Structure 1
Amino acid sequence: MRIILLRHAQSLGNVDELAYCRIPDHALPLTPLGEQQATAAGPAVRRVLGAEPVAVYVSPYLRTRRTLHLLDLGDLVERTVAEPRLREQDWGNLQDPVEQELQKRQRHAFGHFFFRLAHGESGADVDDRCAAFLGELQPKMIRDPRHPKTVLIVSHGLTIRLLCRRLLAWSIELFESLSNPEHCEHRVLSYDGGVWRLDRPFAQWRDAPDGTTQLAQR
C-alpha cells in the first residue's frame, strides 16, 4: 500500500500575503507560475503512480483542486473525494494584516503545534482532523478489496507534515523542526509489515530538540 502526498502549486497567497485580507483562503487561485508548476508535475506524478488505479483525496480549497485538475491523471483515477479534513490550517476569515503578523511572531516563539490562532486553529487541531481522516482511510486500504491500494492526497504543507507525523509517530519536537515541502513536491509513504516508511526526508531547519529523526522506524 502507498500514500503519495502532494502539496498544491504556488497560489496567490504565497506571493501576496495581503490577498488573505480580501479573498477567502479557500478561494485563493493559483498564480500563472502555479498553473505551470501543476501542469509540469503531471508526468512525474503519473510515473510514481504507475499503472495501478488510484484513489484521490483532495482538500476542497480552490488551489488544491486546480492543482489536481492540471495534473491530468486521466483514467488512472478510480475515485476522487473532496475531503475537508485535509484543508489548510484555519487562520480565520478575511485576515487583518497587522494582527496576523503579530500572531506569526507569537506562534514562532510559542511553538507551531500548540499555538492557537485567535480566530482559527492550532496545529494540534489540524493534527486531530488528520488522525480522524487516517483512522477511516487505513482500514479501507487494508480491508476493503474495492478500495485502491494506492492513494494520492493533494493538500497543504502543514497538513502534509501532520499526516506524516501521525503515520510515522513523529514527536511534536520533530514536526516543529521540519519545513513544508515545496510547491508540487511529493513524498511517498509505503506500508509494509505493519510499518509506514517515508521515501525521503523533509528539509529540516534545526535538529529536533528530543533527538528524534524522520526516517526512524516505529
Structure 2
Amino acid sequence: MMGAVRIILLRHAESLGNVDELAYTRIPDHAIPLTGAGREQARETGPAIRELLHGDRPAVYLSPYLRARETFALLGIEGACERVAQEPRLREQDWGNLQDPREQEVQRQRRHDFGHFFYRLPYGESGADVDDRVAGFLADLARRGEDHPGTVLIVSHGLTMRLLCRRLFDWSIDLFESLSNPGTCEYRVLESDGGKWRLDRPFAQWRESPDGQTQG
C-alpha cells in the first residue's frame, strides 16, 4: 500500500464472556456471542464508524470469532465497504479449549505476575505469539497493490489492537504491558502519509512504563 493510509481499529461489542467468565467453560472462545446489550452497542456505534469513513469504501478485516463478526454485521455498513474478509491472524489470544474456571484464575494471576507479553498459557498462546501473527498481517497489508483501499477497518479484540499499535509504533514491551485494553466497541484511528504513523488518542495506562517510553 502506497501513499496515505488510514486504519480504524474497533474492538468487538460486549460479549457473553465479558459478563460471565463461566461462559468459557461451556462455549468455545471463538463461538462466544454478543449479549443483548452488546448488540445494541454495536448498532449505536455504526453511525460513528460511518462518519469516520468520510464516504470512503474501506477494506474490512475481521477476527473470525463470532463476537467480532456479529459486531461488524450490526454496524450496518457492509454495503458501503469495498471488501470484507475474515482474517484468523486478528483473532483473540488463544487461552486453550474449554477452560476450567479454577485453572483460569490461576493462569490469570501467573500471567499478571510473569508479564502479559511473554507468559505462554498452557495449551494456548503468549502475547508474543499474537505479536508475531499481527506482524505478518501488517506486512501483508503493506504489500497490497495500488487497487487496495487506503482506508482499512479492523474489527478485533483489545489485546490484538494494542499489539497492532505496538508493531506500528515500535512500542517497547514495558509500554505495551502498561496499557489497558480499550472498552467494548471502542475504536482508535491510525493514519500515515507514507512516513510516520499517528494515533488519534492514546490508550489508558494503568501504570507508567518502567522504561519511561510513552505513546507520543
Please classify the TM superposition score into its range, dividing by the shorter chain length.
over 0.9
Q: Which residue of 2 is the match for residue 61 of structure 1?
A: 65
1:190 has 2:191 as partner: yes
Q: Which residue of 2 is the match for residue 151 of structure 1?
A: 152
1:181 has 2:185 as partner: no
- Inter-partner Cα distance in structure 2 for 1:112 and 1:74: 34
1:94 has 2:98 as partner: yes
- Inter-partner Cα distance in structure 2 for 1:50 and 1:192: 17
Instruction: Give unpaired runs (5+ residues) of structure 1.
Output: none
Instruction: Give unpaired runs (5+ residues) of structure 2.
Output: none
Q: Which residue of 2 is the match for residue 34 of structure 1?
A: 38
- Inter-partner Cα distance in structure 1 for 2:15 and 2:194: 38
Letter in 1 for 2:47: P
Of 74, 79, 82, which residue of structure 2 is paired with 1:75? 79
Letter in 1 for 2:84: T
1:204 has 2:205 as partner: yes
Letter in 1 for 2:112: H
| CA offsets 1:43-92 (integer angstroms, 9 cap, x no match) | 00000011111000000000000000000114320000100000000000
Q: Which residue of 2 is the match for residue 109 of structure 1?
A: 113
**CA drift at 1:139:** 2.0
- Inter-partner Cα distance in structure 2 for 1:89 and 1:145: 32
1:51 has 2:55 as partner: yes
- Inter-partner Cα distance in structure 2 for 1:148 and 1:166: 21
Of 16, 22, 28, which residue of structure 1 is paired with 2:20? 16
Moved over 4 A (4+): none
| CA offsets 1:15-48 (integer angstroms, 9 cap, x no match) | 0000000000000000000001000000000000
Letter in 2 for 1:183: T
Of 120, 128, 143, which residue of structure 2 is paired with 1:139? 143
The two structures have a TM-score, normalised by structure 1, of: 0.96
Larger deviation, residues 152-161 vs 73-82: 73-82
- Inter-partner Cα distance in structure 1 for 2:30 and 2:122: 18
Across the aligned residues of Structure 1 and Structure 2, the Cα RMSD in angstroms comes to 0.7
- Inter-partner Cα distance in structure 2 for 1:94 and 1:102: 15
**CA drift at 1:193:** 4.1
Of 84, 88, 92, which residue of structure 1 is paired with 2:88? 84
- Inter-partner Cα distance in structure 1 for 2:109 and 2:151: 39
Q: Aligned to 2:82, what secondary structure does the other structure show?
A: strand
Letter in 1 for 2:180: S
- Inter-partner Cα distance in structure 2 for 1:137 and 1:93: 30
Q: Would the alpha carbon gap of residues 159 and 152 (structure 1) be closer, same or farther in structure 2, given more than 3 Å must change?
A: same
